[in-house]
């Protein structure tokens, strides 16, 4: 892998370059038992007089499902790199 300054990466880049590959290496499969950045609610409709708008829905960075049990992994850019070992510990859920 190329040498990158991880502090300059955006959260999406951290997920794509480090977290998703770590999950796949532990046997998690995209679209089978995990998704990346998945909206799990529709946005709320906001009404003010005759005007309306739709707020963004709630999303999880990594919704995980195994044997009917569901959990969410939330990637935080300021904590992700220092806690990559915790991500690898997700194997304990399998």
Encoded tokens for 56? 């963004």
3: pLDDT strictly greater than 80? no
In the predicted model, is pLDDT for residue 34 greater than 70?
Answer: yes
- Each domain of the chain, given as residue ranges in start order, spans 6-93
Look up tokens 């990594």; give the residue.
62
* Mean pLDDT over each residue of the chain, to the nearest integer: 75
Is domain 6-93 classified as CATH 3.90.1570.30? yes
- What pLDDT is attached to residue 91? 44
Q: What is the pLDDT of residues 11-33, one digit of tens each?
A: 888 888 888 898 888 888 888 88
């Amino acid at each position: 892998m190329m040498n990158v300054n991880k502090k300059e990466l955006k959260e999406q880049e951290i997920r794509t370059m480090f977290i998703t590959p770590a999950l796949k290496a532990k046997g998690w499969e995209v679209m089978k038992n995990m998704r990346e950045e998945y909206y799990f609610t529709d946005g709320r409709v906001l009404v003010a007089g005759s005007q309306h708008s739709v707020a963004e829905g709630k999303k999880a960075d990594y919704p995980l499902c195994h044997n009917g049990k569901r959990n969410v992994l939330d990637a935080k850019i300021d904590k992700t790199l220092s806690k990559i070992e915790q991500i690898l510990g997700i194997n304990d859920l399998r």
